[in-house]
Structure 1
Amino acid sequence: MEINILQLIEGAKKARGLTVIIDVFRAFSTACYAFSRGVNRIIPVGDLELAYSLKEENMDYILMGERQGKILPGFDFGNSPTHILEADLTAKTVVHTTSAGTQGIVNATQADEIITASFVNAAAVSEYIKVKNPAVVSLVCMGNACEYEAEEDTLCAQYLKNALEGKPCLKKGEIKEILQKNAGQRFFDPASQAWAPKTDFQLCTDLDRFNFVLKAIKNKEGYYQLQRV
C-alpha cells in the first residue's frame, strides 16, 4: 500500500486511489457530529451560491458552514460541533460549505473513492482502509482556508499513516496537548467564542468518538453527498 500525504487544493487535485480528505478544525469533525444527531445525508459544496441555490430549491434543507470561520447569512448553523450538539437533525439533508474541507471533496476529481476524516473517527477510517486494501492511499490535509498548512490536519494524516503501517500512534491526551499549544489556541480566544467556542476544541480532538466513516458519493444530480458507512 502506497500512502501519500498531500496538502491543500493542489493536493486534492493530485490525489489518486482511495482519497481521504482531512479537516480536523472543523468541517469533518462537525459532519460526524451532524450524523450523530440524525442527519440523513450531507451535500458538501465548494461554491457558496450553489449552497443558497440548493436551499431555495429545497426549503427543508439545512444550511451549515462558514467563511473565515463564521456562520454565513441565512445559514441555520455555522461550522461548530458545539452548536449542533443538541440539535434534532433527524432525517434532514444538510448542505455544508466551508473554506477548506468541502473544497477538498469537490477538487479530488482523480480519486477512485473519497472519504473524509478527523480525529473523531480516525480508527474507523484506518480500519476501513485496511479492509479495502487499496494500492494507493492519498491523505489530503486541507489546511486553513486552503491557503496554508494546518498543524491539526497534518498531525491527523500522520496518525492515520502510522495506524496503517502498524506504527505507534499518539494518545488522545498527547494530541490535545500538542494542538492546544498552537493550532487550537483560537478556540480559547474570548473574541471568537460566539463562532468558535472552546468546547469545539474538545469535541474535535475527542479521539475515536465515532465508529463510522463518511463516504462521498455522487448523486443523480451530479453533486457529492456524504453518507455514513
Structure 2
Amino acid sequence: MEIQILQLLNGARQAEGLTVIIDVFRAFSVACYAYQNGVRRIYPVGDIEQAYRLKEENPDFILVGERNEKKPEGFDFGNSPSQLLTGRLDGKTMVHTTSSGTQGIANATRADGIITGSFVNAGAIIRYIEKQQPEKLSLVCMGYACSYPTDEDTFLAEYLKAKLEGQPVDFEAMVEILRAGAGARFFAPEKQEWAPAADFDLCLSLNRFDFVLKVEQEEGRNYLRKIDC
C-alpha cells in the first residue's frame, strides 16, 4: 500500500486512491457525534449558499457548521460536538458546512473513494483501510480554514500511517502538544460560546466510535454513509 500525506485544498485535489479527508478540530468529529445523537443523514457541502438553499427547500433539515469558527446566521448549531450532544436530533437530516473539512470533500475529485477522518473513529478507519487494501491511500490534512497546516490533522495522518505500517505511536504525547498549542484556543475564555473547552476532549476521545463515514452520492449530492467497522 502506497501511503501519502497531503495538506490543504491542493492536497485534496491531488488525492488519489482511497482518500481520508481529515478534520479533527472539528468537522469530522462533529459528524460522528451527530450520528451518535440520532441524526439520520448528513449532507456535507462546501458552499454555504448551497446549505441555505437546501434548508429553504427542506425546512425540516438542520444547518450545522461554521465560518471563522462561529455559527453562521440562521444555523441551528455551530461546529461543536458538545453543543450537538445537547440537541434533539433523532431522525433529523443535517446539512454540514465548514471552513476546512467539507471543503476537502468537495475538492477531492480524483479520489477513488472518500472517508472522513478524526481521532474519535481512528480505529474503525484503520480497520476499514485494512479491509479495502487499496493500492494507494491519501491522507489529506485540511488544516485551519484550508489556510495552513495544523498539528491535530497532521498528527492523525501520522497516527494512521504508523498504525497501518505496524509502527509505534504515542497518542498521549500528541494530546499534550495539542493542549498547549493548536488546541489552546478551546480554553480561551472569550471563545467559550463557539469553541467550548469540552470540544477539545470530545475531539480527542480516541476510538470512541466503531464506524467510518463514507462519502456517497444520491441524486448528484454527497452524503455521509455510516459503515460499522
Task: Please say whether Structure 1 and Structure 2 have the same fold, judged by a TM-score greater than 0.5.
Answer: yes
- Once residues 25 and 184 of structure 1 are traced to their aligned partners in structure 2, the CA distance between those partners, rounded to angstroms, is 8
- Count of aligned residue pairs for this structure pair: 227
Report the 3-state secondary structure (helix = DSSP H, G, I; strand = E; otherwise coil) of the residue aligned with 1:16: coil
Is 1:133 the counterpart of 2:109 in the alignment?
no
Displacement of 1:89 in angstroms is 1.1
Segments of structure 2 that go 5 or more residues without pairing to the other structure are none
Report the 3-state secondary structure (helix = DSSP H, G, I; strand = E; otherwise coil) of the residue aligned with 1:183: coil
Structure 2 residue identity aligned to 1:224: N
- Once residues 150 and 32 of structure 2 are traced to their aligned partners in structure 1, the CA distance between those partners, rounded to angstroms, is 20
Is 1:68 the counterpart of 2:68 in the alignment?
yes
Displacement of 1:87 in angstroms is 1.8
Report the 3-state secondary structure (helix = DSSP H, G, I; strand = E; otherwise coil) of the residue aligned with 2:166: coil
Partner of 2:19: 19
Query: C-alpha root-mean-square deviation of aligned residues, in Å?
Result: 0.7
Partner of 2:225: 227
TM-score (norm 2): 0.98
TM-score (norm 1): 0.98
Displacement of 1:194 in angstroms is 0.2
Partner of 1:39: 39
Is 1:150 the counterpart of 2:150 in the alignment?
yes
1:175 and 1:205 in contact (8 A); partners too: no
After TM superposition, the structure 1 = structure 2 runs for residues 161-180 of structure 1, keeping only pairs within 5 Å, are 161-171=161-171, 173-180=172-179
- Once residues 47 and 89 of structure 1 are traced to their aligned partners in structure 2, the CA distance between those partners, rounded to angstroms, is 23
- Once residues 217 and 45 of structure 1 are traced to their aligned partners in structure 2, the CA distance between those partners, rounded to angstroms, is 13
- Once residues 46 and 40 of structure 1 are traced to their aligned partners in structure 2, the CA distance between those partners, rounded to angstroms, is 20
Is 1:83 the counterpart of 2:83 in the alignment?
yes
- Once residues 147 and 91 of structure 1 are traced to their aligned partners in structure 2, the CA distance between those partners, rounded to angstroms, is 35
Displacement of 1:41 in angstroms is 1.1
Partner of 2:120: 120
Structure 2 residue identity aligned to 1:134: P
Deviations 1:86-135 (A, max 9, x none): 22211211000000000000100000000001000001001100000000
Partner of 1:205: 204
Partner of 1:186: 185
In terms of mean alpha carbon deviation, does 189-198 or 161-170 score higher? 161-170
Deviations 1:160-196 (A, max 9, x none): 000111111223x323212101010000000100000
- Once residues 173 and 210 of structure 2 are traced to their aligned partners in structure 1, the CA distance between those partners, rounded to angstroms, is 21
Partner of 2:28: 28
Identity among equivalent positions (%) equals 59
- Once residues 31 and 170 of structure 2 are traced to their aligned partners in structure 1, the CA distance between those partners, rounded to angstroms, is 23
- Once residues 178 and 5 of structure 1 are traced to their aligned partners in structure 2, the CA distance between those partners, rounded to angstroms, is 20
Q: Structure 1 stretches (4+) deviating beyond 3 angstroms?
A: none
